[in-house]
Chains A and B, each alone.
Chain A
Amino acid sequence: MSTPNMVLLIVSGLLALGGALGTVAANRPLRAAVALLVNIVALSGIFLSLHAQFLAMVQLIVYAGAVVVLFVFVIMMVGATEKVPRTLRGLTPRTLSLVLMSLVALMLVFGVVYVAMPAQDLPEDYGTVMGLGAVLFTQAALPFEMVSITLTVAIVGALAVGRGRTPKEAEAAKAAEAARQLEGAERLAEERRISAEVSAHGGH
């Protein structure tokens, strides 16, 4: 591997790791979003080192340009700009998850890091717009169209979920909730009565 490539890889790799750690460990959500952005840009660099130019660009456009922006929108809307308070709730399962998952990841990392495979010559249009486009519109045409539909569905879904309730719907939901509470209380009372009867009869 050529030296510039290696340098690019190392820098991008370190930035990616740093950005990931920053996302995971950030105090405030907004800082986490910025760290994610750093990570994504670094990943774009990694793609470049792998000769996947088109993908690097797509990564920047879609991820950095849309997904992270969306995250920032929502953070602003929700108002989660303050420091996230730390609690001790659920400490044990969290610690357990942390330890085990770290072990698994470390095992993977140190298991594979020395593996190498024989290098091969790259085709002419490897990783270019033309090359990928040729595949996308011929062999992968169907998945390509499906992805369009998926995106449409996602839009509709997001709209539906995020719409919230009109006042009338809110009323109806409140009434339904009250009715459900009542029924639950009734059933509980009924069960208590039956079990009292059963134990009074001595289980006969």
Chain B
Amino acid sequence: MGEPLSQVLLRSKRHILTIENGLLVLLLTGIILLATLQIALRNVWDMGLSWADPTLRVAVLWVTLLGAMAATRDDNHIQIDLLTRFLSESLKKYVRLVTDLFSAFICGLLSWHGGRFVYFEWEDGSILFASVPAWVCELIIPLGFGVMALRFLVTGLLRIRPQRAT
């Protein structure tokens, strides 16, 4: 019934991309404006927003993970990649499958242990600043690495998909 699964997947992929990019742009714009406002307040009126500095620091963490997620999507992480230059195309595919699966496994582990970290903080009810609970700010760690794990897994598997005749 309804649309085929592949269509649903494609559409949700598009939505996720929009949300990710939107969040990244929004965060960076927010950082620029808030940091500039803070300087203006400090130098011109000799005051400051007490929540601005911790917010900016958490925003850097979010930008880091959202940026790394985007880098995973673009296949644009910092890497050495000295050997694959000398491999044939077909061999390269399988080598990249191995590195992608390995990356997916490690990101999966990071996501899982990040999740446990967030859970501990939630149980403790620790507060980061004002009344913002720490776990909300840390949530991006398991989320980010989880998304990266999935991306590595999917790109890895797509590499060895049999080429469809056109």
Physical interaction between A and B:
no
